[in-house]
Amino acid sequence: MATQSAPNGECAASFRKGALCFLGGERISATKKRTLRGGLAEYKRKRDFARTPEPAPRRASSATRRSFVVQKHRATALHYDFRLEIGDAMPSWAVPKGPSLDPSQKRLAMQVEDHPLEYAGFEGVIPEGEYGGGTGTYETIDDVDPAVALRKGELRFTLDGRKLKGRWTLVRTGPRKWLLIKGRDTYARTTDITLTRPRSVRTKRLLADIARDEGGNVDKAATGDPAPRKVAASAKR
């Protein structure tokens, strides 16, 4: 499927066929660029809520503690969707390698369209993709307004999640290109958390489990999980 470079108008149709055409960032139109910065119009335009289990945006809730979520997403290419609650939506980034606990590992994070707050609780199977997720809360450092920091292109925050904690920075390096960087604090590690803790915080499932439970493609989903054969083989010795 040559859907990653599909013209803008075909996005909704190709999404229903299973492609997440906002990934990759190629050939993005000026119109689309403008909508990336705010609002849920693009999110809604791309989806037919009668056909996808993903949540439709509803009324905004004003939470006292802001939430964040990381959703592992086995789509055309495996990636991790990182979303921060800012105002009434969740600005979102697709992180191909996932967050790293190692401050020396700056992870590319491509900004995608804002998602609704309801998305933070979503875990399941969408056409051609399995989502596993985990939520937590965050606070900006020095109580800075995150919407202002987002516009300026540098967000500094502390995460209070089950897997991700401590200080982090998101810094913009290009039109949609950001880097996600762990701060140097007691939560920094050199272990690869995507390999050591691959299960959903919400349901303890691997991607293959989610696919099995919810009618997805188990074999394909499993390619996004750490290789079980290697683990089993080394355990036998």
Where does this chain touch Mn ion (CB under 5 A) — which range of 49-57, 79-87, 169-177, 186-194?
79-87
Closest alpha carbon to 29 in 45, 5, 47: 5
Where does this chain touch Mn ion (CB under 5 A) — which range of 9-17, 70-78, 118-126, 139-147?
70-78
CB of 116: closest distance to Mn ion in angstroms? 14
What CA–CA distance (Å, rounded) separates 177 from 111?
A: 6
Give yes or no for residue 47 binding Mn ion (CB under 5 A): no
What CA–CA distance (Å, rounded) separates 106 from 109?
A: 9
What CA–CA distance (Å, rounded) separates 221 from 113?
A: 24
Q: How many residues interact with Mn ion (rule CB under 5 A)?
A: 2
How big is the chain, counted in residues? 237
What CA–CA distance (Å, rounded) separates 17 from 1?
A: 10
Where does this chain touch Mn ion (CB under 5 A) — which range of 5-13, 71-79, 163-171, 198-206?
71-79
Give yes or no for residue 81 binding Mn ion (CB under 5 A): yes
CB of 75: closest distance to Mn ion in angstroms? 6
Give yes or no for residue 73 binding Mn ion (CB under 5 A): yes
What CA–CA distance (Å, rounded) separates 183 from 158?
A: 9
Contact footprint for Mn ion (CB under 5 A): 73, 81
